[in-house]
Amino acid sequence: MKGIVFTEFLELVEEKFGLEVVDKIITQSNLPSKGAYTAVGTYAFSEMLSLLNHLSNHTNISIDDLLLVYAEHFFKVIVDSYPEIIKSYKDPLEMLASIENHIHLEVLKIYPDAELPTFTIIDKTEDSLNMIYKSSRSMHYFGLGLMNKTFDHFKASATITMEKIKENGTEVKFSIIKN
């Protein structure tokens, strides 16, 4: 997992819960990196899981909810860091339908070792999109947060539902209907 995902996560934890909580979860997680991340470095996904687990225990907020809130923050980072990718879209559904064949391909040019999910489109109309998320990392709530913010960004809204195909969340169907 790319360092930018860790550095932005720890910044958000500091903003919401304070530096003591950042120090506490880093210490508890017993990380090979010792919590010293650089944005362009690459670190084990297990470090993120460990940080999320300890933060969840400390705050009593579920990992899914933490990932949702974190994704909403991460969308701002994306808009600030890669404005030209976002600017190439005029419509949120078009943008979401292009994660697989454009957006994440651009991400791979920037970070060749990024670990990305796949989104397979089942069907798409002018106001609806159904697709299947697949990833060994089960970060579908992170995807949901990014999708919510994609609609906000275009001043639009949608009803997004998730249906687990695999119980462990490695395969999830997203149904998105524009309001």
Binding region for ligand HEM (CB under 6 A): 1-2, 5, 78, 82, 85-86, 96, 99, 103-104, 107, 111, 114-117, 135, 137, 139, 142-143, 146-147, 150
For residue 11, how far is the Cα from the chain centroid?
A: 15
Closer CB to ligand HEM, 17 or 111, in the complex: 111
Inter-residue contact 1 to 48 (CB < 8 Å): yes
| Closer residue to ligand HEM in complex, CB, 37/142 | 142
**At closest approach, how far in Å is the CB of 140 from ligand HEM?**
7
Minimum CB distance to ligand HEM, residue 18 (Å): 25
* Closer CB to ligand HEM, 68 or 147, in the complex: 147
Tell me how far, at minimum, the Cβ of 3 lies from ligand HEM, in Å. 8
CB of 110 to ligand HEM, least distance (A): 8
**CA-atom Rg of the chain in angstroms:** 16
Our CB check for ligand HEM shows the closer of 137 and 173 to be 137
Strand extents, DSSP E, 59-157: 118-124, 128-134
**Phi and psi at residue 109, in whole multiples of 5°?**
-70, -35
Q: 24 vs 50, which CB is nearer to ligand HEM?
A: 50
Name the nearest CA neighbour of 12 among 24, 1, 22: 22
Q: Taking CB positions, which residue lies at the least distance from ligand HEM?
A: 135
Helices in the chain by DSSP H: which ranges?
A: 3-17, 19-29, 45-59, 63-81, 83-87, 92-97, 104-110, 140-153
Minimum CB distance to ligand HEM smaller for 63 or for 116: 116
Query: What is the smallest separation between the CB atom of 80 and ligand HEM, expressed in angstroms?
Result: 11
Q: Residue 131 corresponds to which tokens in the numbers above? A: 């697709």
Torsion angle of alpha carbons 53, 59, 61, 63, nearest 10°?
-20
- H-run or E-run covering 56: helix 45-59
Q: Residue 20 Cβ, how far from ligand HEM at the closest point, in Å?
A: 26
